[in-house]
């Protein structure tokens, strides 16, 4: 059955135009004003926006190995509800995908249960232990890149070897940057005003940017494509800006929580604990400026679900990690676009366009022949974020209860509707 989307404004050539979209066989057939219906199933979009499906290049789906936290089925249902048609899955799994054989367990689970596209990462080192390199060559045809996310690679020589190999395989290194020698045992928040006021052990921003600094020297030496995960500090922004100006093949991401919160707004609740931690207001402002000037390429949620018990210990006693797939667009649009801080086109580039360019993923264009991976956005949908209604098994988000004005109204992946909450949706 073919579909016809009508009555929406379509994101084309950096702006919006009122167009119909016809879809058949998982692909876009035509984009044009007033397309004929010709027996198609017609979906009235009621002035919603149609954009390329969102891509999150940093999620934890927890399967195989930790399915009590999340499954591929629940995590990709959450992604679809947030407008995401593709996610890149981190290798913090059991078994760790560090060989073709251990990767195969994840690939089989994806093939069985995923509701949207899932592109796994392979580990940089065996077991993500920072010692021997993983079988990167064996995994390369099947992964988006290589990451030891959750831990920084501490050995400079190991990172140099990993970058050289990744360069030869034409795959990016996707780096969690954290110098463990600069971390204080028992840290739970940023080393700033909140930590001092509440007698908490802080995490210094230097633990992040010092390793970014080291890795950028190695990028200059090896020529490896290098993507920095979840940057949180103003120093990291400055280092990456300078590296880009030098022409190095460097990209980066930050998360909604780093753009919208600072440590002065923390609460003693596990839903405010993550790694890296939410930092100062000055760091937040530097991140926003980095998004505006193109230093920051992507916004990724670092969706990292845990059980309720694992997040019940407050800041001191909870595991690191929050969820965000289902509310990221709503909070970003409301807090950054609606307020005039960030143009909508900049936000969409960070969610739809740049992730595909960096990781060479299909889609990203609304044009005949392109994959029908689309997100419909309702910019007039006032509601409150309710984590109890999440499709994710994780509930810990700092945005719970926030009032927002927009939402993903429909998500299509491979031409199939994988989520729908259209205003007064009609099918004719």
Residues marked as catalytic: 302
List beta partners, residue 49.
9, 377
Q: Would you give the distance in Å from CA 360 to the centre of its chain?
A: 15
DSSP string, 49-67: EEEEPEEEEEE---TTT-T
Task: Please state, in angstroms and rounded to a whole number, the distance separating the CA atoms of residues 421 and 307.
Answer: 27
Closest CA to 396 of 262, 273, 260, 266: 273
Q: What is the DSSP string of 253-278?
A: EE-HHHHH--GGG--SSGGG--SSPP
Name 242's Cβ contacts closer than 8 Å, sequence gap at least 6: none
As given in the structure block, the two tokens for residue 54 are 């969102």
- CA 252, CA 296: separation in Å to the nearest integer? 6
Indicate the pairing of strand 189-190 with strand 202-203: parallel
* Of residues 48, 55, 112, the one with CA closest to residue 82: 55
Share in percent of the chain as helix, strand, coil (round to 5): 35, 20, 45
C-alpha dist (Å) from residue 56 to 26, 115, 357, 362: 21, 14, 13, 14
Q: Are 173 and 218 in contact (CB under 8 A)?
A: no
DSSP assigned state of 86: E
Give the pairing type, strands 84-89 and 54-59: parallel
- For residue 273, the Cα-to-chain-centroid distance in whole angstroms is 18
Would you say 325 and 81 are in contact if contact means Cβ atoms under 8 Å apart?
A: yes
Strand partners, 56: 87
Gap between the Cα atoms of 160 and 140, Å rounded: 18
């Amino acid at each position: 059955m073919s579909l016809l989307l009508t009555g929406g404004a379509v994101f084309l050539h950096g702006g919006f135009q009122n167009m119909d979209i016809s879809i058949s066989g998982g692909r876009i057939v035509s984009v044009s004003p007033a397309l004929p219906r010709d027996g198609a199933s017609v979906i009235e979009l009621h002035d919603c926006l149609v954009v390329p499906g969102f891509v999150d290049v940093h999620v934890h789906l927890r399967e195989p190995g930790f399915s009590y936290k999340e499954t591929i089925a629940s995590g990709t249902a959450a992604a679809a509800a947030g407008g995401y048609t593709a996610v890149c899955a981190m290798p913090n799994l059991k078994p760790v995908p560090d060989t073709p054989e251990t990767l195969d367990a994840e690939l089989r689970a994806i093939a069985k249960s995923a509701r949207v596209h899932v592109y796994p990462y392979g580990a940089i080192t065996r077991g993500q232990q920072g010692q021997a390199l993983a079988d990167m060559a064996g995994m390369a045809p099947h992964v988006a890149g290589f990451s030891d996310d959750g831990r920084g690679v501490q050995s400079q020589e190991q990172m140099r070897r990993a970058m050289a190999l990744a360069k030869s395989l034409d795959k990016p290194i996707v780096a969690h940057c954290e110098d463990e020698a600069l971390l204080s045992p028992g840290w739970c928040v940023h080393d700033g005003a909140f930590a001092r006021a509440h007698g908490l052990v802080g995490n210094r921003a230097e633990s992040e940017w010092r390793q970014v600094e080291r890795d950028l020297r190695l990028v200059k030496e090896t020529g490896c494509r290098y993507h920095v995960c979840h940057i949180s500090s103003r120093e990291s922004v400055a280092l990456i800006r300078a590296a880009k100006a030098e022409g190095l093949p460097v990209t980066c991401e930050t998360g909604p929580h780093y753009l919208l919160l600072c440590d002065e707004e923390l609460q003693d609740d596990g839903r405010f604990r993550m790694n890296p931690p939410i930092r100062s207001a000055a760091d937040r402002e530097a991140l926003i400026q980095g998004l505006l000037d193109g230093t920051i390429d992507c916004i990724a949620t670092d969706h990292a679900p845990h059980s309720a018990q694992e997040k019940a210990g407050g800041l001191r006693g909870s595991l690191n990690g929050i969820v965000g797939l289902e509310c990221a667009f709503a909070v970003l649009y409301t807090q950054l676009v609606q307020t005039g801080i960030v143009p909508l086109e900049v936000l969409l580039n960070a969610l739809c366009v740049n992730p595909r360019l960096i990781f060479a993923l299909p889609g990203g264009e609304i044009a005949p022949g392109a994959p029908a991976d689309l997100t419909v956005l309702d910019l007039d949908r006032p509601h409150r974020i309710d984590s109890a209604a999440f499709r994710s098994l994780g509930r810990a988000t700092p945005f719970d209860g926030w009032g927002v004005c927009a939402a993903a109204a429909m998500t299509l992946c491979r031409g199939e509707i994988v989520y729908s909450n259209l205003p007064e949706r009609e099918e004719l």
